[in-house]
Amino acid sequence: MTSGRATGPAGDDLVGLLAAELDKGGILTGADVSARSSDPFSHVPLGSRALLRPRSTNELARILEICHRHHQPVVVHGGLTGVAGGAAAGTAELVVSLERMNRIIEIDPAGATMTVEAGVPIEAVQAAAAAQGLFYPIDLGSKGSATVGGTIATNAGGNRVLRWGMTRQNVLGLEAVLADGTVVDLMNRFLKNNTGYDLKQLFIGSEGTLGVVCKAVLKLVPAPSTQQVALVSLDSYSDVLDLLARARRVQQLSAFEVMWQDYYALVSGDPARRLVDPDPAFFVLIEAMGSDELNDNAAFAKLLETAFDDGIVVDAVVASSTKQAEEIWRVREGSEILVREMGPFVSFDISVDIRSANEFVGAVRDALASTFGEYRSVAFGHLGDSNIHIGVHVGPDTRERTHDIEACVYGVLRRFGGALTAEHGIGSAKREFLPDHIPPEALAMMRKVHGALNPDWTINPNVLFEH
């Protein structure tokens, strides 16, 4: 299927050839490269011989064509916030960063689209949309760094998928450069377009292994003008499911985030985050975003009141200002507390049937206890999307025991028929587990598609597949 992975390190000749295609700032070498890392959390210096920074699709295409001709593998860098090792690059690879392709090209208010280069950060997209009364719904903790290109390559999710979908559902068109330098213009702007295969889908979520996304047409929606946020506590998982079913009937529902007690107990150690009593078993952040202050507030209040009256909800705080809404969201986004209080931990990003999510969390705890004896774990996530994050600490040597912890948790996951990764992607970190979590026929089909478009493994050779 494949002609083998290209591995030749870049000789001086090749670096010279590439430099000739770029301006002075277009190629970094030596200390300018090793000052960078492929993972901002690890700080391991980048070992690549050169980092290329094209300013245009044409420059990118010429670079890839030259690398392809010389069997030189290339790893593409966006905002480096994927936390799955998708940007990992060694001495054998050159790095291409799209950081200088960062222009917002056009906003079309009538069609509700924005056309951008791949290096634009998500936060800049959101700001430009807001200036036109529009909204780009993809919302990530890392939005200041995460780029359009990176979020497309990984099909990023985030907090509001329940309402507006993943990145895939918010991209109308794109332009990509194939492994051999061919530019493919798929810059569709229409909601409806069945003119041939929807090829852009191949570049979304394939982690850069089929082509490099360099431009995109994003779908915008009218900006919500109201926001309702509440944090509630509940005693049982069946109450959580009941609340979710009721919340789904609120048309403006934009987030339904669940925190298990182990998570909230840890985070509410910070007094600013102790918004409700930490004793109940479950905590849920509910958000709605609409356009009619009076009616939206009323619908949201009615949801909470009837849930309270029916004995589903134990306690609740409702934000009465944007500041309070942010305070509630900070409870859910307490990762710096996890880092500080749990010490090193291994994190998981899985999807599992909503009906059995709590049973799954219990089974993971049992498996951790029987495998490791002492352990600590927290569970939280986007339950409305089936997506749960779990953090696991088994002692000071947690990092070194990563593989064993993963094998333990993924073993339980397989029993529950869950998904190995909900939103972060496989990257290089999970590729050894991929064959156990999709059918062999699907993996074979992935290899066929990969073989048709990137047969020499010249772009992003380190992710998804084991060689």
Cβ 7 to its own copies shortest distance, Å: 24
Residue 204 φ then ψ, to 5°: -85, 120
Return d(Cα 193, Cα 46) in angstroms, integer: 42
Cβ 349 to its own copies shortest distance, Å: 9
Return d(Cα 147, Cα 267) in angstroms, integer: 29
Whose tokens are 């083998």? That residue is 4
Amino acid (one-letter) located at 260: W
| C-beta closer to its own copies: residue 183 or 317 | 183
Cβ 177 to its own copies shortest distance, Å: 10
Cβ 108 to its own copies shortest distance, Å: 8
Cβ 215 to its own copies shortest distance, Å: 14
316 contact partners, CB below 8 Å, separation of at least 6: 230, 231, 232, 233, 276, 304, 308
Whose tokens are 């899985």? That residue is 350
Return d(Cα 280, Cα 287) in angstroms, integer: 20
Cβ 453 to its own copies shortest distance, Å: 6
Direct distance between the N- and C-terminal alpha carbons of the chain, in angstroms, rounded to an integer: 12
Coil/strand/helix, residue 397:
coil
| C-beta closer to its own copies: residue 3 or 7 | 3
| C-beta closer to its own copies: residue 108 or 333 | 108
| C-beta closer to its own copies: residue 92 or 107 | 107
Cβ 188 to its own copies shortest distance, Å: 7
Best CA proximity match to 368, nearest among 284, 268, 264, 262: 262
| C-beta closer to its own copies: residue 48 or 358 | 358
Q: What angle do CA 133, 138, 140 make, to 5 degrees?
A: 120
| C-beta closer to its own copies: residue 105 or 369 | 105
Q: Give DSSP secondary structure letters for 99-148.
A: TT---EEEEETTTTEEEEETT-BHHHHHHHHHTTTEE-----TTTTT-BH
Cβ 396 to its own copies shortest distance, Å: 31
264 contact partners, CB below 8 Å, separation of at least 6: 278, 283, 331
| C-beta closer to its own copies: residue 198 or 359 | 198
